[in-house]
Structure 1
Amino acid sequence: MLGGTMAKASVREISRITGFSPATVSNALNRKRSVSEETAKVILECAQSLGYQQSTQLESIQFVLARKTGAILDESTFHPAVIEGVERQARRHGMSTSFVSLDFSDLDAVRPQVEGLIADPSAAIVLMGTELGEEDYALFADAAAHLIVLDGWSDRQYFDAVVIANTDSVLRAVDYLIEKGHRQIGYLAGDLRIRNFKDRERGYRQALEDADLEANPAWHVTLGTTLEGAYHDMGVWLDNVSRDDLPTAFFAENDVLAVGAMRAFNEHGIRVPEDVSIIGFDDLSLGAFSNPPLTTVHVPKHEVGEIAVRRLVGNIRNPKSYTCKTAVSTYFVERQSVCEI
């Protein structure tokens, strides 16, 4: 447990006296920019008059797994590894970890659940934002709880976040294909356009532009984000394209897409990497055991979870008036799904 002085007055008492909501009071005490200077002054003066001292005690962390469709989260081993990192770092600080799964497919239905989670100013939340969009993050805008978003980011809300360096990582992966002699490079995109995928596509296009190569729309293939969906959709695309019209390589937005596509290539008599090279993203275990083993981008999943907890602890100990987005770097894993031409 993090040590600290017990508060002489509660957030709810300050809320009662000033007339501001507990969430607004908590945000002001934590120096968050979402509170106006005038409002913050009233709240801070009230807190000072009551002898309020900010508590730095934190006994537990809630890990919130937010599903929009589940088609990405449920198909991947990414978030279980992240959870292990959160738990490991929490234990180092003497904290327990609890888990909540929320369905964001119906915002009206999930709203009361979110409001219940974020109302407690002593709570700490790690929000898995992989599948979330701006309309979903808006539900957390008035959080009194300490909150950090993991694998997601809001342009409109003042949240701290830990994200993957998607664009830079893909740019380097496509550079690798170019260094191997590939000039016709296609793109395998998930049919759910989460922020991570959009950022990865940006890296792909930037790498081609920097090399004066064309991002041919005919080689931009949209696939379902499950293994079965990617396999099926890749097969349908291959049924309607001539072998002579294939690119020499594809970058896939994640390993699930890559492995599903590789199965379709195999069934259509297209050899990987002799006929088509392919690179994935995430470095999931299924890629290491695919045929051939998948060249991919490794994401340090455990470390991502650990960083989120360290940031939460730091924010509670030293409240600040700004938010930070931490981009975690990746590294390249060279296996056998790419050949030089």
Structure 2
Amino acid sequence: MKMEDIAKMANVSKSAVSLAFSGKPGISADTRERILQIAQEAGYFPKSRASTNAAVRNDRSLLFLVCTNSGIVLDKYSQQPFFKELIQFIEERCRQRGYVLIFSTVNMESFYKEIQMVAEEKRSDGVIVLGTNLTREQITYIHDNLPNLLVLDTCYDTLPVQFVEINNVMGAYQAGSYLCDIGHTSIGYMASDVRIHNFEERRRGFMGALAERGIAVADADVISVSPTILTSQESLKKQLSAYIERGRPLPTAWFCECDYIAISAMKTMAELGIRVPQDTSVIGFDNISESVIVTPELTTIHVEKERMAILAVDQLIEAIENGPQVKAKFSVDTRFVERNSCSAPALAMQAADNK
């Protein structure tokens, strides 16, 4: 991608794009912000800006590398609530530590070629890779080509790489324990149809909490849905409608592998006349900002995104400034957040009797 492409996307002149990147006057603040946002989303960042800023401000730079077009990480990843919040905390910590954060996007369709290009550019002192959707083999390849690397939002224990991840097992265990403790025994599971490390760990934690209490999720109560849609889903509507058509009662509660799925589920249920939490409870995972906008507000698992960002930046800078050290892997604990999308099954049954 070239500067001309950014100009077309922003509907401005090439000179306006140049002014936006150089920080020189000549365009409005709103135009500058819009151009930089478009460039960030497109994964474009000219070498000149990073080097100029570093020279003028005596800053060093970190590269935030994202591999898109693969499952849960979309082209416009910076607009996805979870990643948007995470990036904001990373940028803030970089500023506090005197580093410039630059961005680069790799298309998974040409993964190996583009990783080589990033390596040849040598644009930063260190690299934070968003590992959410990456396999062990892909992370190994990045590690072999990019020095001073830290991988965020996943973990492979046997790789000699620094990782910062969510304690997914703990978070899902908290969710499962809560549903059981308030009396649910008929529990459904809404899984992502895109499988990643985080979701596999959440499944393990949730099922573990239920197993400790002698409860199991029936195979028929496991539903597979898209993890990147916040609106109602036709495929989910068909799966839920099948319960109604067969006269089979819905589980009294559902665990969803992420807030996207939970919010989509509540909207889909509303269209079918299924009330939350009166007819069935819903619990999510991530605590994105949208979780308090929906009605009812979503019970969920809070991910400490700020803590993850601070750990990632600080650990990478330590490796850069102090030389090779023993690699470390950090798992950041979660926090349960109770809101209004869950209730005890007895309350749900009482509400049904009062219809």
Paired AA for residue 306 in structure 1 = I
Residue pairs, 1:1-341, within 5 angstroms: 59-69=60-70, 71-73=72-74, 74=77, 76-116=80-120, 123-227=125-229, 231-242=233-244, 244-319=248-323, 321-341=325-345
Q: How many residues align?
A: 283
Q: Conserved in 2, the CA contact under 8 Å of 1:141 and 1:157?
A: no
Paired AA for residue 239 in structure 2 = W
Give the equivalent residue in structure 2 for 1:37: none
- Looking at structure 1, the residues matched to 243 and 120 of structure 2 have their Cα atoms a distance apart, in angstroms, of 52
Q: Conserved in 1, the CA contact under 8 Å of 2:164 and 2:331?
A: yes
Query: Identity across aligned pairs (percent)?
Result: 32
SS in 1 for 2:201: helix
Paired AA for residue 301 in structure 1 = K
SS in 1 for 2:144: coil
Which protein is richer in helix relative to its size?
Answer: 2
In structure 1, list runs of 5 or more residues that go unmatched: 1-56
Give the equivalent residue in structure 1 for 2:40: none
- Residues 143-165 of structure 1: CA deviation (Å, up to 9, x unaligned): 45211001022345311010000
- Residues 29-65 of structure 1: CA deviation (Å, up to 9, x unaligned): xxxxxxxxxxxxxxxxxxxxxxxxxxxx971111112
Q: Conserved in 2, the CA contact under 8 Å of 1:224 and 1:230?
A: no
228 and 281 in structure 1: CA distance in 2 versus 1, 3 angstrom threshold: closer
> In angstroms, what is the RMSD of aligned CA positions?
2.2
The structural deviation recorded for 1:210 is 0.6
SS in 2 for 1:65: strand
68 and 153 in structure 1: CA distance in 2 versus 1, 3 angstrom threshold: farther
Paired AA for residue 334 in structure 2 = T
- Looking at structure 2, the residues matched to 325 and 58 of structure 1 have their Cα atoms a distance apart, in angstroms, of 27
SS in 2 for 1:105: helix
In structure 2, list runs of 5 or more residues that go unmatched: 1-57, 346-355
311 and 228 in structure 1: CA distance in 2 versus 1, 3 angstrom threshold: closer
SS in 1 for 2:275: coil
Paired AA for residue 82 in structure 1 = L
Under a length normalisation based on structure 1, what TM-score does the superposition of the two structures give? 0.77
Q: Conserved in 2, the CA contact under 8 Å of 1:114 and 1:139?
A: no
Paired AA for residue 196 in structure 1 = N
Paired AA for residue 326 in structure 1 = F
- Looking at structure 2, the residues matched to 115 and 139 of structure 1 have their Cα atoms a distance apart, in angstroms, of 11
Paired AA for residue 133 in structure 1 = T
321 and 312 in structure 1: CA distance in 2 versus 1, 3 angstrom threshold: closer
- Residues 73-111 of structure 1: CA deviation (Å, up to 9, x unaligned): 537311121112211111122111111111123334434
- Looking at structure 1, the residues matched to 60 and 115 of structure 2 have their Cα atoms a distance apart, in angstroms, of 25
- Looking at structure 2, the residues matched to 113 and 230 of structure 1 have their Cα atoms a distance apart, in angstroms, of 40
110 and 62 in structure 1: CA distance in 2 versus 1, 3 angstrom threshold: same
Give the equivalent residue in structure 2 for 1:54: none
Paired AA for residue 336 in structure 1 = N
| Larger displacement relative to structure 2 (233-242 or 331-340) | 233-242
- Looking at structure 2, the residues matched to 182 and 148 of structure 1 have their Cα atoms a distance apart, in angstroms, of 40
- Residues 212-254 of structure 1: CA deviation (Å, up to 9, x unaligned): 1112111110001222686222101012123533111000010
| Larger displacement relative to structure 2 (89-98 or 180-189) | 89-98
